């Protein structure tokens, strides 16, 4: 099965008047990255959440966001009265000593660290069990999203590889005519040359055979055809993580196409080489999105 690295999943539940919302997003990336945005009540569980999401989604740039509706961190906020009085007394004395005009120093004091604090009440086991269940539901949803998009990617990849195979077959009618044309051209050039030069006929024939073999593209065609077959087999392999393997096969496909183009020495074959390269580039763009 082909799985996309791009996906989105969400879920929500309610407990004690609080609505817990979970959103998980993933984008394509070469390595695994995860960013968590959590309420303070769940911060002590962040490492567990990271492991859970990475184990489930395996690869990609991942974002986990949990929000609480009907409840905010402000409800747990408090003013540190002792600190407030101390700062006010000292600032007011300093103002009088320096003969500074009266002003509203309350807002300034409230911005001093530790004057306003928050009760760090962590979620209990009962609430956390519900949060985990909600996260599991969001993971199920994002996996379904990835699988659905993977079906679309598979269809496109299969179309691209089929086009490459079709273009490869289209080369065959031009191949024999190409070699005959090269032989005739070499023979004519040599005949013009031997009018004034003495040439060893056996050596001449050996050189012609060597040159023709250097231009032969049959091996490259066979390897390219096998790579295309292997690519299609890997599309339906059971392994979920196949993006890197398919990319390696695509590199080998590109290598054979480039070699055919270098050896072709024929404008008609070069046209099909260009079309195969175009399909391969489109294929590589899609491979970047596969898990």
**Two structure tokens written together for 126:** 């009962």
Query: What residues have CB less than 8 Å from 146, skipping those under 6 apart?
Result: 3, 4, 5, 6, 7, 26, 57, 291
H or E stretch including 33? Answer: strand 32-37
Neighbours of 1 (CB within 10 A): 15
Q: What integer pLDDT is reported at residue 247 of this predicted model? A: 92
Q: What integer pLDDT is reported at residue 172 of this predicted model? A: 85
Q: What integer pLDDT is reported at residue 94 of this predicted model? A: 78
The rounded distance, in Å, linking the Cα atoms of 9 and 91 is 52
Q: Nearest Cα to 73, choosing from 43, 47, 98?
A: 43
Strand partners of residue 4 = 290
H or E stretch including 26? Answer: strand 18-27
Q: What integer pLDDT is reported at residue 250 of this predicted model? A: 94
Neighbour-count burial of 287, counting CB atoms closer than 10 A to its CB (0-12 exposed, 13-18 middle, 19+ buried): buried
The three-class DSSP label of residue 121 is: coil
In the chain (291 residues long), the average pLDDT of successive 10-residue segments reads 91 85 92 88 87 91 87 57 77 76 70 61 79 93 94 93 93 76 67 61 63 75 93 86 90 93 83 94 92 85
Q: What integer pLDDT is reported at residue 191 of this predicted model? A: 65
Strand partners of residue 37 = 65
Sign of CA dihedral 242, 250, 155, 9: positive
Q: What integer pLDDT is reported at residue 195 of this predicted model? A: 59
Q: How many helices (H) and strands (E) would you count in the chain?
A: 8, 6
Q: Domains plus CATH for the chain?
A: 7-71+123-147 (3.30.230), 81-114 (no CATH), 150-287 (1.20.120)
Q: What integer pLDDT is reported at residue 139 of this predicted model? A: 95
């Amino acid at each position: 099965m082909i799985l996309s690295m791009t996906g989105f999943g969400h879920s929500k539940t309610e407990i004690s008047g609080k609505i817990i919302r979970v959103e998980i997003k993933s984008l394509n990336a070469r390595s695994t990255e995860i960013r968590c945005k959590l309420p303070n009540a769940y911060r002590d569980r962040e490492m567990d959440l990271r492991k859970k999401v990475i184990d489930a989604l395996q690869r990609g740039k991942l974002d986990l966001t949990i929000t609480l509706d009907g409840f905010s961190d402000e409800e747990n906020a408090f003013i540190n009265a002792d600190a407030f009085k101390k700062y006010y007394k000292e600032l007011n004395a300093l103002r009088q000593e320096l003969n500074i005009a009266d002003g509203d120093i309350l807002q300034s004091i409230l911005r001093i660290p530790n004057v306003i604090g928050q009760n760090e009440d962590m979620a209990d086991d009962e609430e956390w069990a519900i949060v985990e269940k909600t996260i599991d539901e969001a993971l199920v949803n994002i996996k379904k999203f990835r699988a659905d998009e993977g079906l679309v990617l598979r269809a496109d990849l299969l179309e691209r590889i089929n086009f490459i195979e079709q273009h490869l077959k289209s080369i065959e009618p031009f191949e024999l005519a190409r070699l005959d044309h090269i032989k005739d051209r070499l023979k004519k050039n040599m005949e013009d040359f031997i009018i004034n030069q003495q040439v060893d006929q056996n050596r001449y024939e050996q050189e012609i055979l060597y040159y023709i073999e250097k231009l032969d593209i049959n091996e490259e065609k066979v390897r390219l055809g096998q790579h295309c077959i292997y690519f299609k087999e890997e599309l339906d392999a059971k392994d979920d993580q196949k993006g890197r393997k398919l990319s390696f096969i695509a590199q080998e496909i590109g290598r054979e196409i480039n070699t055919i183009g270098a050896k072709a020495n024929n404008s008609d074959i070069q046209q099909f080489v260009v079309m195969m390269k175009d399909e391969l580039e489109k294929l590589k763009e899609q491979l970047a999105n596969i898990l």
